[in-house]
């Protein structure tokens, strides 16, 4: 009997072993399937958050069968007597128009003050000296997708052993230029603090702006510019880099983060209008005044947002007439501005007045020299005048808006680490909650002490410091 039980027990053990092994295998298969499902979900999710874009050709005619010239060529900003003589002749022949009494800048650029600007431009402004200032930093051109793309590339000098600079791309907007960043460049490439990051800075001109060739074909929008700048940075040898933008630079760098999020280490912005407001944004508008803490609103948020109709609607209508023109018929107005330096200056500098502080509309001089020097303002105008880029710069609005407001990138969140500098006099105020609806990895949000739309040019120290603070947090996380 005992032997029989022993044999039976032995048989049962022999049977149970394969069963246990089978159970283990089954569990492993389930785990593998679960892990696979998670990986598949994450990959698909990342694909949904990655923008797609095909290569283009924006040069004249059809693309050549020859391999694209990937050479990088030094470029020098130049001027000549003929250009200056033509400018002076046009300035001398301007036809002044009296402004309405007590109108200040509420009807646009005050004509009486414009004559003072023209007089300074004609008799005191030294363009040759400003050209020397422009050439203080190295300029280059390289051909990408059929266009000669201009950029400023500043490498830090006298770096301590073992210190590697951090690459930073900075993209301008309209009616600005690469020159907006000239006050920031030394602060970033030659920082004063021992713990500060040292940057290697690249400031390109958007094709159609400044000294970058204008597209010869329809359709060159912010996504195309983003793709071109990715190619530029790869050509310069950067595998990863940070990016900063304001105005159109906000959208171009945002598209860059959507196109290749693994390459953009971090995104720093000072302008981020809600591209596709969601339910949290609408709820915050409806209830934020009564329950500000619920939506993270501070006193400045309340002052800028409410009353909604006056601050968000009326103010935007007052300041966006130019946008409707440029988004529909840019060539008509552009042709007049391309022929008249005085008209060009009035059109551009009016934005540097009102977008810096909307209360400047009530000043006879538009408050222009309260924040900027007249030499800097006219240097930016001269970049537009000497390059003849006002029309293609305006076309950028039509190329972006003619495709509708419901573009793939407008519905797509940004998943790269983001820092936002919230300047109090920005044309459109964006509270932290609204920024987070688009930029899901918002790491820093800084209410700035002062400054408006052209913050990089107006407050270079504040902007450079906020870029430093944001990127320091990212570099520490990486370590």
Residues designated catalytic: 247, 397, 453
By the 8 A CB rule, do 394 and 327 touch?
no
Taking a C-beta distance cutoff of 8 angstroms, is the pair 242, 267 a contact? yes
Residues in the chain: 479
Q: Which two tokens stand for residue 112?
A: 């009486």
Backbone angles phi, psi at 267, to 5 degrees: -125, 125
Torsion sign across C-alpha atoms 420, 422, 427, 429: positive
Nearest Cα neighbor of 58 from 224, 223, 177, 178 is 224
**What does the block give as tokens for 36?**
């696979």
| Residue entry with tokens 């022993």 | 6
Q: What is the DSSP letter of 452?
A: B
Look up residue 165 and give its DSSP letter: P
- Give the β-pairing of 139-144 and 72-75: antiparallel
Listed in order, strand segments (DSSP E) in 189-318 are 199-204, 241-245, 264-269
Nearest CA among 478, 473, 479, 464 for reference residue 199: 464
């Amino acid at each position: 009997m005992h032997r029989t039980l022993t044999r039976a027990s032995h048989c049962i053990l022999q049977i149970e072993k394969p069963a246990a092994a089978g159970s283990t295998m089954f569990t492993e298969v389930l785990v593998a399937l679960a892990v696979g499902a998670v990986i598949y979900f994450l990959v698909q999710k990342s694909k949904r958050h990655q923008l797609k874009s095909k290569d283009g050709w924006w040069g004249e005619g059809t693309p050549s069968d020859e391999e694209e010239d990937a050479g990088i060529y030094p470029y020098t900003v130049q001027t000549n007597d003929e250009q200056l003589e033509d400018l002076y002749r046009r300035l001398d022949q301007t036809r002044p128009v009296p402004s309405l009494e007590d109108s200040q800048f509420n009807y646009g650029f005050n004509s009486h003050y414009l004559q003072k600007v023209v007089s300074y431009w004609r008799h005191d402004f030294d363009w040759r000296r400003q050209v020397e200032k422009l050439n203080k930093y190295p300029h280059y051109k390289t051909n990408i997708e059929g266009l000669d793309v201009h950029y400023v590339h500043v490498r830090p000098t006298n770096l301590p052993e073992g210190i590697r600079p951090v690459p930073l791309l900075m993209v301008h907007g309209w009616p600005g230029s690469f020159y907006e960043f000239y006050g920031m460049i030394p602060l970033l490439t030659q920082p004063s603090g021992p713990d500060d990051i040292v940057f290697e800075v690249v400031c390109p001109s958007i094709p159609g702006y400044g000294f970058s060739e204008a597209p010869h074909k329809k359709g060159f929008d912010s996504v195309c510019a983003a793709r071109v700048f990715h190619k530029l940075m790869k050509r310069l040898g950067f595998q990863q880099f940070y990016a900063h933008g304001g105005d159109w630079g906000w959208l171009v760098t945002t598209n860059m983060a959507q196109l290749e999020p693994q390459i953009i280490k971090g995104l720093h912005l000072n302008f981020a209008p809600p591209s596709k407001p969601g339910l949290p944004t609408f709820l915050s508008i409806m209830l934020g005044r009564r329950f500000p803490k619920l939506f993270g609103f501070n006193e400045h948020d309340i002052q800028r947002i409410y009353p909604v109709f006056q601050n968000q609607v009326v103010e935007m209508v007052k300041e966006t007439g130019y946008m409707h023109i440029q988004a529909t018929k840019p060539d008509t107005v552009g042709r007049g501005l391309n022929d008249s330096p005085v008209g060009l200056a009035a059109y551009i500098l009016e934005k540097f007045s009102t977008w810096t502080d909307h209360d400047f509309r009530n000043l006879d001089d538009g408050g222009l020299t309260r924040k900027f020097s007249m030499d800097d303002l006219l240097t930016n105008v001269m970049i537009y005048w000497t390059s003849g880029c006002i029309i293609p710069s305006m076309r950028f609005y039509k190329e972006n808006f003619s495709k509708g407001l419901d573009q793939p990138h407008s519905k797509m969140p940004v998943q790269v680490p983001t820092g936002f500098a919230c300047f109090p006099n920005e044309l459109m105020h964006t509270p932290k909650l609204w920024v987070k609806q688009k930029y899901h990895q918002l790491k820093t949000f800084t209410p700035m002490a002062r400054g408006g739309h052209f913050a990089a040019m107006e407050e270079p120290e504040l902007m450079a410091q906020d870029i430093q603070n944001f990127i320091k947090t990212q570099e520490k996380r990486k370590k």
